[in-house]
Amino acid sequence: MVFYKPQGIPMMDLTTLEISVDEFEALQLIDAEGFLQEEAATQMGVSRPTLGRILAGARKTVATALSNGCAIRVEGGDYKFEADLQAKNETGQPCCSGGKQTER
């Protein structure tokens, strides 16, 4: 389970919204890496219309969280993140981009 939250606010004081690993992957492929929807759908093993629905749900949840100061929990599915491929921020901590997910 991975969380993203506003800095400086304890988790117990935040509303948490959830996106699935598939939603996170769709956001990463389309918005962060610049894949076309057809390419991303092929990589994820879903149809282009299904990817569109996954992406729309993810964008709505993320926009709601950002607009209202909510935490985001990425959860669901049987996946692991390859830590050695995760990007690091300036403090050496895992960052939100650059991670690769693989099915277990």
Task: Provide mean pLDDT across the span 75-96.
Answer: 58
Burial class of residue 82 (count of CB atoms within 10 Å of its CB; 0-12, 13-18, 19+):
exposed
pLDDT digits (tens, 9 = 90+) for 45-80: 999 999 999 999 999 999 999 999 999 999 885 555
pLDDT at residue 92, rounded to an integer: 63
Can you give the pLDDT at residue 85? 46
Q: Is the pLDDT of residue 82 over 60?
A: no
Assign domain 16-103 to a CATH class: mainly alpha
Ordered by start, the domain boundaries in the chain are 16-103
Q: How far is CA 9 from the centre of its chain?
A: 21
Per residue in 16-56, pLDDT (tens digit) is 999 999 999 999 999 999 999 999 999 999 999 999 999 99
**CA–CA dist 58, 4 (Å, integer):** 14
| DSSP codes of every residue in 9-63 | S-GGGS-EEEE-HHHHHHHIIIIIT---HHHHHHHHTS-HHHHHHHHHHHHHHHH
Give percent of the chain with pLDDT exceeding 70. Answer: 73
Q: Which two tokens stand for residue 67?
A: 């607009």
